[in-house]
Every structure is written in C-alpha cells, then in structure tokens.
Structure 1
Amino acid sequence: GNDTESDQATSDKAKSIISSLKPVAKPTEPDFFGDRYATDDVPSQTNCPNNIRKHVPQTQFAEMFLHNIPVLQWAKHFTPEEYQRLRHYGGAHGWGGVSAEGVFSLGILNTPANRLMFDDWENSANGSKCIRCAVVGNGGILNGSRKGKEIDEHDYVFRVNGAALKGFENDVGSRTSFYTFSTNTMRNSMRRYARIGYRGPPISKETRYIFLPDHDRDYILMKAASTHTAIVKGPERSKNPPAYFGKDVTVEKFKIYHPDFTRYLRNRFLHSRLLKTGTRRIYRPSTGAVMLLAAIHTCDQVDAYGFMTPDYRLYSDHYYDKQRHPVHFYANHDMRMEMRLWQELHNAGLINLFMRQ
C-alpha cells in the first residue's frame, strides 16, 4: 500500500536529515535506550494522604514507575562522570548534543529554587495538605469549554509552547506557574502564533520557566537569561541579553528537565514503534507529554486539560485557531500513543483528564 511507501519516504528523509546532523557514529555504539538512571532522593514536599505516587503501586504503572528519578537537573548533576555517562544519549535524552561548556552552565542553577519543582510551596498561604496542579495543553477541545476559572483555582498551573492567554481566559485561565518549552519550540510558537497575539512566554511574578533541553541552545539561553548577558553565537545571538522572560528575571525562575527523566519517559511510558524505524533518533515524547508526566511525578493531584482525546477529530488542532485545522502529526512524536497513555492514566485514577464526551 501507499502508506508503506510514504512511511519509507519519511524515514529516508529523516535518515538524510539525521546523517547531516550527526557526527559519524562510533564503531561500537553504546546501548541506545540506556534504561538505567541517576537517582535523586528529593523528599516529598507535602504529606498529602492521597497523592498520585501512593496510588501508583495499585495500577498497571507500578513496574515502570521510578519514584526516585530526577525530574530536574541542577548544579550538583554536572560532574565529569555524569558527562561521560550522558554523552552517549542524543537530543533530549542525554548530553550527546551539548558541549561541555553548555552543560557546565548548569553550575548557575545552584539555588534551592532550581532543584525543587514547587520552590514557593512552604510560603503558600492556602494551608492545603496537597499540591493540586492543572496541566494545560493547547488542544482545540478547550475552545468554548469555559474551564478558565477552574484551571486558575489550582495551586499551580502548567502550560506549554504557544500558550496564548489574552482573549482566551474564559476557556483556559490566566495564571501560569510553570511554562515548559525548548528554545526551538518556543521560537517556533512565537513565529507561528504571532498573528493571534502570542509574543512569547507568559511573564508574571509566579511564573517559572522549565527548559526541556534538546540542544546546546537551551543551556546557552538559560545561562544568558539568568545572568543577563548577550548570546554571542548560534541562532539566538544578539547584542542584548535575551528578553523572552522579562527584564528582571532571576536565576531562581529557571528549571531544566533532567535528560534521564525524558529518556525514562521515552523508554517506559512512550516506547513507540517509531523506535524501530529510521526516525528513532529524532523521536521523543512531545513537550506537552514531558510536562504532564513531570506533573504526575511531582504534584499530589493532576487535572489535565487540552490534551488529545479519542474524539480529537471533532476539534481544531489548538484552542486559539481562527480557522479550523485538523490535528497535525509530526514524525518526531507519537501523538496517538500519547493519547492512549492519557486514557490509561485517567482510567487508573492517576490523573483526571478533561473530556467533552
């Protein structure tokens, strides 16, 4: 059938893209999956009686779920030993595409705020025992949902990529506690959604920025933004310090996902059949998937909005689309697999997924 031919064409194209990007592979390639990870004993920030992680052992996710996987990386993670280990994995899954000086910039993430997801929880006045998170994707299912108020009433609100809020507050809310992005996805969103008024990451007193690093660029931008210095080389270079996160952003506002965390999500939660094809080197969980799974590993309760549901054909791709666009599938993600995972997590009672039907 034609499907195989077009798949073949896609995979050939992917192969040629990949071979142009990658240095020649070493004769003995290390284990591609690397299903062994650093461990972090980050104590739980609450003693919530009914949190997600207490419920995991009673579900089909018991075996795959690692309770001490590091979700975030910070200054302590940069050691020569870790550099040797993580250099074997490319893209978002390791430090293979990152120069030593790039990873070295983790050294500036040395405040308590950089290592804890909820760095201000102790000072929050709500007296709750449990951290309740709203994780908001950009799916068209939110258009006309009037879920904004409910989303904003959570302790924390996670958003991703082209999170356009102005004019859509009734449906999606107006607060952003955590904005997840890679430099590449953020720049693409700014280009693509400029016409609906999206100018860049949300900026507010509570907003924290979580890089999903899949390139040197992410480490370089993170360092320049936190130290208010210009970027001298690469696609983000400029005469002035980067202004994406506001003029007076401080290093406490930045977090960065650990590549072991992204690799663990790929290996265990989203082990797609794409990993058996020529696109395996560019395949990774979508940025929204990393955000939602990070919330499951850190929040006590997770309500997910704007993620793909089985009736996705009824909605436009994004809630802010002016004209209706069908959902767009990319070669480097497996959105249908992600959609099935959201259903399974919802049915297991680990998340509460907003569905229209």
Structure 2
Amino acid sequence: MGLHRRLLFAVLTVSCVLIVYILALTLERPLVPLYDLIQRASGVSSEEPLHGPSNDAHLTFLPPVPSSHPDRDVGNLYLMHHKVQKPLLANETSKSRSDDANNKTRIDTKRPTVKPAQPAKPTDPSFIGDSYMSADVPPQTGCPDSIRSRVGKTEFGARFLESIPVLQWARHVTPEQHWRLSHYPGAHGWGGIDYNTLVETLSVLNSPANWQMLDNWKAAGNKSECSRCAVVGNGGILKNSQKGKEIDSHHYVFRTNGAIIKGFEEDVGSRTTHYTFSTNTLMNSMLSYAGDGYRGPPVSKETRYVFLPDHDRDYLLMKAVATHTLVDRGREKGKNPVKYFGEDVSAEKLKMYHPDFIRYLRNRFLRSTTLKSKFKNIYRPSTGATMLLAALHTCDQVSAYGFMTPDYKKYSDHYYDKNYHPVGFYANHDLRMEMNLWQQLHKAGLIRLYMHN
C-alpha cells in the first residue's frame, strides 16, 4: 500500500504541474522551463541557479552598423568584448579548432601540427572610436619645409592624419554623420546634441573662412612661402621672458582662455589672431582671473574665435555671436555675446573644432591612462593642448611659448600671478602627459618649444 500511495502522489504532483503550466500558457505569463518546474516539485535542485549569470553576460551588444556607416571597416569597434575565432585552415578540421579553443594542441601524424589559438588582443572600448571623417583641405602655402613634409620621417608619422578635418562647418551636418558622432559624448562627438540643434547652429558657419584656420593667408599678401605660427600658453615660464616682440613677429598668434595681455606685452606680445576657448573655460576664466585683469577674449580686427565644443552651450553661444542675437536657451540664456566679442564680430571670424579632431588628438597623441579610470568620460586634451596641436596640423612652422616644461615647479601657474601658485592638476586633463608630448615634438623638430636655459 505504501508503494501505491507514493506512486499516486507522484502522479498527482506531475498532473498539478501540467495543469499550472497549461493555465500559464493560456494567460500568456512568463514561463520557466517545464523541466525546472518538475525538478522543483520533486525537490531536485538544478546544477545552475535559474537566473544565474549566463555565458554571454560579458558581451556588450552595440547597435547594428549601416552599410554606409563611415566606421563600417573598423572591426574592433563592433567586435569588442567578443572572442574572435581564427579562420579555419584548409587542412584543419572543426574538431582541431575546438581543441585550439581549449588551449590544447592537436597532434596528428597525418596533418601538420596546429598551434593553439592565441588569446585575442584587447580591443578598444566603444568610446575610443579611432576612425574619422576625411576632408580634402589642400595646403594654403607651397612651403618646402612644412611640418606636413617632415612629419613622416619622425616617430609621429604613423599617428599623423593629413586629411583629418580640424574644423567643422555647415556641410558636415548630415543625418549619417549625426548618427555616427552621437556615439561619442562631450568634445569627442555629438552625443546628447539633437540633430535640429546642430543644423540650426552650424548653418551659420557656411563660408570658406569657417573651415580654413588660416583663412586670410592669401589676402594678407604674405611674401613668405611658409606660414609661421606662435602658440602662446599662459604658463608662468613667460614671466620676464622678454619674448613679446618675437611672438608678435609671427604671421599668426594663437592664445587661449585667461590670456591677459595688457601690462604684459613685453613678455607675451600684443597680437591675437586666433583665440581658442570653450564656453565653460571662457566663463570660468572671467570669474577666476578678473582680479588679475582678465575681462574677456581679445578683441581686434584680425582676431578669429575658435570654439572648442564641450557641450551644447558652445553651439548656442556660437550661433548668438554669428547672428548678433541673445543666447536663446541653455545656461547662457539671455546673455549678449557683444559683451565678450565686440560689435564688429562676424560669422566669418568664427570657427569650431571638429569633434573627430578632438577625439583623434585624444586617441593618437594623448592616450592617457585616465581613459581606464572612472574619469574616462570627462577626460579630454586641455584647451591649450588642442590649440597647439591644431596649429601643428594647419601651420607650416610652429613655435610654442608658455607651455609646461619639466622644470615647471620653478614657475607660477600663470605669468600674471602676483604671488606664486603651483600648477594645478585635475582629472579631466593629463598635463604631465602633455608636457612630455611637447618635449617629444620639440626633439623631433616639429615645434620649437620655449624653455629657460
């Protein structure tokens, strides 16, 4: 009788499970496998937890790539985190491949020995995106001794892209480019900026002057075959340097952020042809250095304003500057750009770095270990570094002044500091890496870096 009761109980249990399962199907409720239900009812535990980690938990699935996507040939961008199987050899069976995957060498006297598959090399994470738009921007000079003609013979030859667009303008805004660049946040792409805002703001950059850094080279009637650019940082090394006349003697003079000129002309010069900034660094400079005499960007007939687009704030301010209207929305809503750039500024005087260029500088010249830390999303080349490397890509000859050198502790943070202030280091820039890069470029003969003897 005991055996009959146990069999009857088992039959009833399975019947109940089947009824519950049929009801669940009828109600379209999420199901667990029938086999697991039976195991649970019979008190048998599964070898794996029902909702435990699967073998695919480490995979990151990215959006499908359109066939026309510019990054379509960059395999590591879309295969990241996936194991790449090596191709099956003509004389290799599928079993030998399986053995290889288990790091075992298959030895067969009838076939050549197949080496174990090597672990796949680490691939770049998705936010790197080392693939860029190509722009056909012919050189503006016929300089026989330009940086472009020499860079291939240096250690930087493999990194340097002559066709990288340094500046963006109206014709760069297309749905395809927006889709591509929306994957990269901050200064490295158009992530978080909707397409309509880009069209609305970048449409004002619609003249050749907007995509040529040295837009007035021919009009200026320069007799020299080579364009010479002075790139001036704000480092304390310039204090009492007496380099002002030398700086002003260049065809073009680049400055950035809190560039205070009045009262320091003998050391830093007086001209500014290109002023690089982001809306954030501009506003912060006006707050932080007001006591030292900084009132805003340099204003002159020859000054061009080069925006570094860190947020949508930069696009909105740039549009307001070009149209002589108040900023219509965002953090600077209601502000009058005339206050910063003067009455005479025109759209032809405005330029904006291309996000591909910023990402390219980060990936190929300033690939900091910060990219492996929790600060990777805010890291970018400093505004001064972007300015200097932009000159490297657009000028024939570049001299750099006021940039950090290995003896930086001898000098205050800025040349206009009334008292000594040590250089500050922050997570969003790698200033030591930038300092080492300037030394390498100087040693390679690509820039002439001002250093104290």
Rounded to whole Å, the distance in 2 between the matches of 1:69 and 1:111 is 19
Determine if the alignment matches structure 1 residue 77 to structure 2 residue 172.
yes
Which of 92, 98, 102 aligns to 2:187? It is 92
User: How far 1:126 moved relative to its partner?
Assistant: 3.1
Could you say which residue in structure 1 is the equivalent of 2:397? Answer: 301
CA contact (8 A) 1:97 1:214 kept: no
Alignment correspondent of 2:374: 278
Measured in 2, the distance between the counterparts of 1:110 and 1:271 equals 33
Query: RMSD in angstroms over aligned alpha carbons?
Result: 1.3
Q: Deviations over 1:107-135 (max 9, x none)?
A: 11001110111111101133110000000
Tell me the CA shift for residue 236 of structure 1. 1.0
Q: 1:224–1:242: 8 Å Cα contact kept in structure 2?
A: no
**Post-superposition shift, 1:243?**
2.5
Indicate yes or no: 2:315 matched with 1:219: yes
SS in 1 for 2:218: helix
Instruction: Please state if 1:61 is matched with 2:140.
Output: no
TM-score by length of 1: 0.91
Cα distance in structure 2, aligned partners of 1:172 and 1:110: 33
User: Which consecutive aligned stretches of 4+ in structure 1 deviate over 6 angstroms post-superposition?
Assistant: none
2:270 alignment counterpart: 174
Report deviation, 1:239. Answer: 6.1
Give, in whole Å, the separation in 2 of the partners of 1:275 and 1:141: 29
Q: Please state whether the residue corresponding to 1:76 is helix, strand or coil.
A: helix
Q: The residue matched to 1:125 in structure 2 has which SS?
A: coil
Task: Specify the alignment match of 1:153 in structure 2.
Answer: 249
* Structure 1 residues 136 and 271: alpha-carbon distance in aligned structure 2, compared to 1, 3 A threshold: same
Q: Which has the larger radius of gyration?
A: 2
Residue number in structure 2 paired with 1:113: 209
| 1:15 paired residue number | none
- Amino acid paired to 1:101: N
CA distance in 1, matches of 2:139, 2:185: 30
Equivalent position of 2:135 in the other structure: 40
More contact order relative to length (CA 8 Å, sep ≥ 6): 1
**Distance 1:156-1:239 versus aligned 2 partners, 3 A rule:** closer
C-alpha contact (below 8 Å) 2:317/2:337 kept by paired residues: no
Offset of residue 70 of structure 1: 0.3
User: Given the two structures, how large is their TM-score scaled by the length of structure 2?
Assistant: 0.72
| Unmatched runs of 5 consecutive residues or more in structure 1 | 1-25
Measure the CA separation in 1 of the matches of 2:222 and 2:366: 35
Contact 1:99 1:216 in 2 (8 A): no
Q: Is the 8 A contact 1:114 1:255 kept in 2?
A: yes
Kept in 2, the 8 Å contact 1:89–1:96? The answer is yes
The residue identity in structure 2 corresponding to 1:108 is V
Task: Confirm or deny: 8 A CA contact 1:304 1:354 kept in the other structure.
Answer: yes
Q: Does 1:129 align with 2:129?
A: no
Q: Of 353, 358, 365, which residue of structure 2 is paired with 1:257?
A: 353
Do 2:316 and 2:328's aligned partners in 1 also have CA atoms closer than 8 Å? no
How many residues are matched? 332
1:217–1:27 distance in 2 versus 1, CA, 3 Å: farther
Where structure 2 has 5 or more consecutive residues not aligned to the other structure, the ranges are: 1-59, 64-77, 79-125
